[in-house]
Structure 1
Amino acid sequence: MTNPFIDLLAQKGTLLADGATGTNLFNMGLMSGDAPELWNTDEPAKITTLYKGAVDAGSDLFLTNSFGANASRLKLHGAEKRVHELARVSAELARNVADKAERKVIVAGSVGPTGEIMEPVGTLSHALAVEMFHEAADGLKAGGADIGWLETISAPEEYRAAAEGFALAGLPWCGTMSFDTAGRTMMGLTSEGMVDMVDGLENAPLAFGANCGTGASDLLRTVLGFAAKDPARPIIAKGNAGIPKYHDGHIHYDGTPELMGDYAVMARDCGASVIGGCCGTMPAHLAVMRDRLDSTEKGEAPSLDQIVAALGDFSSAGDGTGEDVAPKRERRGRRRS
């Protein structure tokens, strides 16, 4: 299968993805509790600024402002009938930015979780989940997205439903999960388990990996878990810019651009070939990540001890598999600030 994403990855070897959506939009005035997707039609200039921030910082691909564009989430804002429209417009704005860039830039249509728990634990049926994902994916495709981009998923059942939704829309896709619970997803999946799940999908993603979670250290340990399985597909790493801190009524992330530059290089050494940031990652972080990836040769995979020294402690003793227990040690070297 040929696709602009696959072609660019083959050409460059490593792709820099974008950073945060929410963090950047909050800095532009989005209020807590508001639906960012409504800004696609209400504040298109600000969404264009969001996209241009990533492209101008050097990103090879960026995600659309459509993370919550599904009927379940938009129902909370009385906009459940606008899923296709808001997804489509998010991609149209992105397509315009990408097409004006002086280099090839990939538009990745962001698709987040439904916010509901699937059967048999919850009430969301597989068929309804597939249709929710299909509706979003179809809107993104209509708007000109090169690929779909599933992110922050916890349940294997929801990941599988999304794969079917992308297939119905005829949109190639990538998909990440969030390993934020002692090295596992909230629903208990390990890094090894994700590789096995992806391999078994009929409509498998072009690339897979991890995003968000806790800190950058934890995410790299997950990437090492992926790489240990020698997967057939490229690995994605989109870690948060440090650890969230509550200050003056707002959440701030303590990762500096320099720390994220270290993270980007180490993510590549761990085995990731699509590297970006998640919560807290701003254009200033991306610019340093771009420079470090361009100016540093790929090296050997770091040890857990080296990850801790560069990026800070892990949030749990192990990666969820019972192996690779994090070293008990004091931090040294560059600290977060």
Structure 2
Amino acid sequence: MSKLEEFLTEKGILLADGATGTTLFGMGLQSGDAPELWNVDEPDKIRAMHEGFLDAGADIILTNTFGGNRHRLKLSKDEHRVRELNRAGVDLAREAADACGRDVLVAGSIGPTGELFQPLGALTYEEAVEAFAEQMDALIEAGADILWVETMSASEEMKAASEAAKGRDVPLVITASFDTAGRTMMGLPPKGLNDLRSEFACTPVAIGSNCGVGASDLLAAILEITAADPEAIVVAKGNCGIPQIKGKDLIYSGTPELMADYARLAIDAGARIVGGCCGTSAAHLSAMRGALDSHAREDRPSLDDVVSRIGPLISPLNKAAEAGGGARKNRRRG
């Protein structure tokens, strides 16, 4: 049994951390800069970010390595630094975790390559596997407890990541972003993530959703994933409310109180690992910690319940499901 599975057995529900990007932008990261460079150039700020999430009660912290593969790093001409930047990211997270006085899991964050697969683009499946394997090896060498593949859109890319993880003896987590009319950018619906597991070379310990267009839509995706497989260990890592453009800034509408209620609904929807994505600060995460600690799982929510408590759905397909009786079907499943 992996450390992740041991934690789940012991605690039942785990709290993952908040938003890396939002937090680093608040610390001075400029749009277009590679956050991974801060693992070497601004280590105190990365350490402070992790410490903030740990102080808020996170059980899992994700490394600052989301774009740490060779294809993403070539945008800043740092593709030759994959091992250095990923190892530094794990070292900083591990240092913060070891100093917090309790057991915490360090998850090596692995994002998309940023490339399109053939025939739509130039990237071959084999090249994707090689890039993910290179990053995973660096994360494992530095002591990551989990390989956390996140914000995925393409089935081929998730398969490539799972193949890269095969035989590496570290638990795999895969989450997708359902941000385009209730599907991923490449057309995968939430329930399709369950079907893909049988095609993965390395079976993930957990699957789920992160990011997307809003907390309500993410909960709609979680309801679909858990309906397709009620026994799956599911991750819900939603954005902090709904993004709103104010001048040059992108502001997220979620308050700590809203994110606490989102955490309760995620548990009721069947999620076992709950966290926050874009816009989720340490203050939001602290409210979520309090909600998880005090909440006893209740009946499975309907889409109506989600909308009334968290806010309107953004995705047209989710809205159509709500209007067409999807809420009533969810209630019957509960």
The bucket for the TM-score relative to the shorter chain is: over 0.9
**Structure 1 segments (4+ residues) deviating >6 Å:** none
Cα pair 2:230 2:270 within 8 Å, conserved = no
Note the residue ranges of structure 1 that are not aligned, 5 or more in a row. Answer: 329-337
- Corresponding letter in the other structure for 1:276: G
What is the aligned-residue identity percentage? 51
The aligned counterpart of 2:80 is 81
Deviations, residues 197-228 of structure 1 (Å, cap 9, x unaligned): 01332301110100000111000111010111
Normalised to the residue count of structure 1, the TM-score between the two structures is 0.93
Cα pair 2:163 2:200 within 8 Å, conserved = no
**1:240 deviation in Å?**
0.2
Change beyond 3 A, Cα 1:269–1:234: same
Cα pair 2:108 2:148 within 8 Å, conserved = yes
Number of residues of Structure 1 aligned to a counterpart in Structure 2: 327
The aligned counterpart of 1:52 is 51
Cα distance between partner residues in 2 of 1:309 and 1:231: 24
Is the helix fraction higher in 1 or 2? 2
**1:84 deviation in Å?**
1.2
Cα distance between partner residues in 2 of 1:326 and 1:163: 36
Cα pair 1:318 1:326 within 8 Å, conserved = no
Deviations, residues 242-272 of structure 1 (Å, cap 9, x unaligned): 1112224221111111100000000000010
Change beyond 3 A, Cα 1:326–1:263: farther
Cα distance between partner residues in 2 of 1:207 and 1:199: 13
Corresponding position: 1:113 with 2:112? yes
Normalised to the residue count of structure 2, the TM-score between the two structures is 0.94
- Corresponding letter in the other structure for 1:264: A
**1:305 deviation in Å?**
0.6
Deviations, residues 73-114 of structure 1 (Å, cap 9, x unaligned): 111111000011101110011111111222211000000000
- Corresponding letter in the other structure for 2:14: L
Cα pair 2:190 2:222 within 8 Å, conserved = yes
Q: How does 1:67-216 map to 2 (within 5 A)?
A: 67-167=66-166, 169-216=168-215
Q: How does 1:15-26 map to 2 (within 5 A)?
A: 15-26=14-25
Cα pair 1:134 1:168 within 8 Å, conserved = no
Change beyond 3 A, Cα 1:326–1:106: farther
Q: How does 1:291-310 map to 2 (within 5 A)?
A: 291-310=290-309
SS in 2 for 1:287: helix
RMSD over aligned Cα atoms: 1.7
**1:231 deviation in Å?**
4.8
SS in 2 for 1:318: helix
Cα pair 1:316 1:326 within 8 Å, conserved = no
Cα pair 2:166 2:201 within 8 Å, conserved = no
